[in-house]
Structure 1
Amino acid sequence: MKVLLTGHRGYIGTVLAPRLLERNHDVVGLDSNLFEDCNFLPDTADIRSIGGDVREFVRDPASKEKLGGLDAVIHLAGLSNDPLGDYRPGLTQEINAQASIDLARLAKSAGVKRFVYASSCSNYGASGDDFIDEGGDLNPVTPYGVSKVEAEKAITAIADDGFSPTFLRASTAYGLSPMLRFDLVVNNLTAWACTTGEVHLKSDGSPWRPIVHVEDIALAYIATIEADRSDVHREVFNVGQTTENYQIREIAELVRDVVPGSKVGFSHDASPDVRNYRVDCNYIARKLHGFKPQWTCRRGIEQLYEAFVHSGLTLDDFEGPRFKRIAHIKQNIEAGSVSEDLYPVRELENA
């Protein structure tokens, strides 16, 4: 298939892109490169880019022609965590919701048949301790979650016989990637343990989270575009495994067990986290037969531990602007290389 992968230089995109190429798909990318200096490993996928910021792309009259002839769009690009979403909530709505909706409409008008949207289990927000499936109430409690719900609803509304959107509500991601994120709970706790000896909890550890390895997320996207249209048209899938739901303190204990000599500790201002959801992933297992997740939390922690030790990771690396997304953005805004609206300044100067 001919596929546009937005966010191809991000945490999931740099894992998904090479796997799409291995499956002999013809892939082009679109990425704003806001985090191009945050690479933890080399990016192995050399794919052609057809644009940068998705907001600019959907306003460019030439973009419809660029989408012509594509079979599918996999739309990952967006502001991808709660701290970044809380920093400028209006930008989260503009990028994650409105630009995504505009991209879906543009893709439909260009004749693209499949549109796969990177949604999130954070849509469930504060849903309690009981398992929730795709038909459960949406209760987002952050600008990030609200933006994902808004995009899902609007893109669903334009589905028809010629345009098939699918929504992948990923569990909380973890695992090794060329563009590694350290704000994700498994990655963060493992990094703290490796660099300080303490599995450093910033909440009381009681909330539930479904988790899924980034490589398994990539498998879900591939399974979706390769599935029969009837199996994915207007469908919503929770991405993960029902057995991979943990309370945060359980993840901390697994990290302690893997990282030699580490112990669980709490931040001095640790408090309850209102985000609490326990997700049923049985539907994707029944319906999307090409999706066969491979990872467990413990195995992922072992992968991260080995990589962190090998790289010589330090606390300053992952808690500072080198890898921490919000710190990296703020540093670049202060340096003048990124505007307050998160456009690369060099692009504005050349416009």
Structure 2
Amino acid sequence: MKVLVTGHLGYIGSVLAPMLLERGHEVTGLDSDIFRACTFVGALANTPTIEKDIRDIEPEDVAGFDAVIHLAGLSNDPLGDYRPHLTEEINCNASVRLARIAKAAGVQRFLYASSCSNYGAAADCFLAEDASFNPVTPYGVSKANVEHAVSPMADETFSPTFLRASTAYGLSPRIRFDLVVNNLTAWAYTTGLVYLKSDGSPWRPIVHVEDIALAYITVLEADRELVHDEAFNVGLTTENYQIREIAALVQAIVPGSRVEFAPDAGPDKRCYRVDCSYIGRRLHGFKPQWTARRGIEQLYNTFQAASLTLEDFEGERFKRIAHVQKLIRDGELDGDLRRRPMLAMAV
């Protein structure tokens, strides 16, 4: 298929794009690439790229594609909380506009990167796809609102699918260190402390970034009637953990590490357990390969090989919010997180 991947240079996109190419798909990326200085290990896929902000997409950008995989957006709660009106503008309004443009242009498939953060604060039970949304952050609200707006667009010519990923982890060329498994493993390797900033009680479903990419490929290649206007929790039901359980796994794998709580550690209002059985029943090609233990081992071995330091992952290069703030200070981004035209041309 001819596929446009927005956000192909991000954490998930830089893993998904080469996997799509390996499957024989024709891939074009669209990304403003504000994290171009943040490659950790490995190389990015060599794909045609439209360097553009998703807020500026025009019909000619999507014309001729069989499918759009829409990953682009502000990717975490600190960025979402930084300027909430931009989270609504970029994650919600621009996403809905993209879906409308794609439909008008004759794009048949629209795969949207939703999130299990839609469920937000929930009771201590497993949530299937028919559970009520209760997002507690601007990021979660934006994801839920896009689902509500795009689902009614589904018809015989336009088929959206909503992939509600569990909390991602694992190695990527554009790694994110704010994600809980990646973060705890990085702290343990660089300092010897599995450093918890909450009390460790909240539940969180987790899924390896390669398994998220596999879910997109499985949905893309599935028969239309299996995925039309469907939502899927992405992950394994067995991979729901309390944060303190993840910390214990990290301690067991990283030699000489120990768990320590931040002085102000308290309960996290984001707490949910997710039932991921539906995607496996519906799409037999989706068979996740990773567990938390294997993922932590992968991260630990890579951090060793790369000689990761605390300053690396907590500093301005790899910490998303700190990097964005640096780009604003340096004049490379304006206050609306757009690249300044003259500097963008000079890069």
Corresponding residue for residue 14 of structure 2: 14
**TM-score, with structure 2 as normaliser:** 0.98
Within 1, Cα distance between the matches of 2:161 and 2:246? 30
Say yes or no: does 1:300 pair with 2:300: no
Q: Post-superposition shift, 1:64?
A: 1.6
Per-residue CA deviations over 1:79-116 (Å, capped at 9, x if unaligned) read 00000000000000000000000000000000000000
Corresponding residue for residue 33 of structure 1: 33
Corresponding residue for residue 172 of structure 2: 177
**TM-score, with structure 1 as normaliser:** 0.97
Q: Post-superposition shift, 1:42?
A: 3.0
Q: Residue 10 of structure 1 aligns to a residue in which SS? A: coil
Say yes or no: does 1:309 pair with 2:304: yes
Within 2, Cα distance between the matches of 1:333 and 1:66? 27
Off by >4 Å, runs of 4+ in structure 1: 347-350
Q: Post-superposition shift, 1:44?
A: 3.5
Say yes or no: does 1:144 pair with 2:139: yes
Q: Post-superposition shift, 1:52?
A: 1.3
The one-letter amino acid paired with 1:19 is: M
- Structural mapping, 1:116-127, within 5 Å: 116-127=111-122
Query: 1:114/1:178 Cα in 2 relative to 1: closer, same or farther (>3 Å)?
Result: same
The one-letter amino acid paired with 1:29 is: G
Within 2, Cα distance between the matches of 1:249 and 1:304? 18
Match of 2:341 among 333, 346, 350: 346
Say yes or no: does 1:165 pair with 2:172: no
The one-letter amino acid paired with 2:6 is: T
Corresponding residue for residue 224 of structure 2: 229
Within 1, Cα distance between the matches of 2:180 and 2:161? 26
Q: Residue 4 of structure 1 aligns to a residue in which SS? A: strand
The one-letter amino acid paired with 1:37 is: A
Q: Post-superposition shift, 1:349?
A: 7.5
Is the Cα contact below 8 Å between 2:332 and 2:343 reproduced in 1? no
Q: Post-superposition shift, 1:138?
A: 0.3
Q: Post-superposition shift, 1:66?
A: 3.2
Q: Residue 4 of structure 2 aligns to a residue in which SS? A: strand
Corresponding residue for residue 46 of structure 2: 46
The one-letter amino acid paired with 2:83 is: R
- Structural mapping, 1:1-351, within 5 Å: 1-57=1-57, 63-346=58-341
Is the Cα contact below 8 Å between 2:33 and 2:51 reproduced in 1? no
| Higher mean C-alpha displacement, 123-132 vs 65-74 | 65-74
Per-residue CA deviations over 1:190-243 (Å, capped at 9, x if unaligned) read 000000000000000000000000000000000000000000000000000000
The one-letter amino acid paired with 1:25 is: H
Q: Residue 273 of structure 2 aligns to a residue in which SS? A: strand
Within 1, Cα distance between the matches of 2:64 and 2:340? 32
Within 2, Cα distance between the matches of 1:42 and 1:93? 32
Q: Residue 336 of structure 1 aligns to a residue in which SS? A: coil
Per-residue CA deviations over 1:228-261 (Å, capped at 9, x if unaligned) read 0000000000000000000000000000000001
Within 2, Cα distance between the matches of 1:157 and 1:148? 15
The one-letter amino acid paired with 1:54 is: I
Q: Post-superposition shift, 1:346?
A: 3.1
Q: Residue 96 of structure 1 aligns to a residue in which SS? A: helix
Q: Post-superposition shift, 1:129?
A: 1.3
Q: Residue 29 of structure 1 aligns to a residue in which SS? A: strand
Query: 1:331/1:349 Cα in 2 relative to 1: closer, same or farther (>3 Å)?
Result: closer
Within 2, Cα distance between the matches of 1:349 and 1:326? 20
Within 2, Cα distance between the matches of 1:270 and 1:318? 20
Within 1, Cα distance between the matches of 2:137 and 2:120? 8
Q: Number of residue pairs matched?
A: 346
Q: Post-superposition shift, 1:347?
A: 5.6
The one-letter amino acid paired with 1:190 is: T
Q: Post-superposition shift, 1:50?
A: 2.5
Q: Post-superposition shift, 1:65?
A: 2.7
Within 2, Cα distance between the matches of 1:17 and 1:38? 17
